[in-house]
Amino acid sequence: IQHHGKPYPGEHAAILVPGTWERVQTLMAQGLAVTRGRARNKHLALLGGLLYCESCATRMVYTYAMKNGRKYPYYLCLNVQRKGWAACPTKSLPARAIEESVLGRIREGQPGIFEPAVWEQLDRARQVQAIQAIVERIGYDGTARQVSIRFRATAKPETQV
């Protein structure tokens, strides 16, 4: 045991095998990084952290509007959120439209977990994990109305939708 930089003998035998403490601390630190990431994606946005506005090269963030008790989710250019509606030509896009477009493109080249029958059986957290496991970045060009998907190196090369 160390106290103020000076080592003192312990009062009992070690509980853990040498090295176990360090390995657990490393695993816990990795787990905290995942937990923190999920905390930022508290709404479990399917494309959270992956979607970027190509017009101004910033992230697009998930948000929603409420009207008559109904939730209308969409992704908003971060520049628009921070600087105002005139800051970017892309502005926003409905969450369902972009998510379905991305899923459709993935299904073309990645059968299996992304098939509708299997996909619908997954809870939202597992869906988010599945997307993030194979997609590195999604770009949306609002002026050309085009979506580009860059898959992780182990998945598939970049494609355009």
Segments in the chain below pLDDT 50:
32-39, 155-161
- For residues 118, 121, 123, 126, the Cα torsion angle rounded to the nearest 10 degrees is -20
Q: From start to end of the chain, where are the E strands?
A: 2-3, 6-7, 51-53, 58-67, 70-77, 92-94, 135-141, 146-151, 159-160
pTM for this one?
A: 0.68
Q: Which residues neighbour 154 within 8 Å (Cβ) at sequence distance 6 or greater?
A: 134
Q: Is 128 exposed, middle or buried (0-12, 13-18, 19+ CB in 10 A)?
A: buried
Write the pLDDT tens digit of every residue in 46-61: 999 999 999 988 999 9
Q: Give the dihedral sign, CA 24/26/32/38.
A: negative
Predicted confidence at residue 16, as pLDDT, reads: 62
To the nearest whole percent, how much of the chain has pLDDT over 90? 34
Going by the DSSP 8-state scheme, the letter that residue 11 receives in this structure is S
Predicted confidence at residue 158, as pLDDT, reads: 45
Of how many residues is the chain composed? 161
Predicted confidence at residue 27, as pLDDT, reads: 64
Predicted confidence at residue 121, as pLDDT, reads: 86
Predicted confidence at residue 20, as pLDDT, reads: 67
Predicted confidence at residue 91, as pLDDT, reads: 87
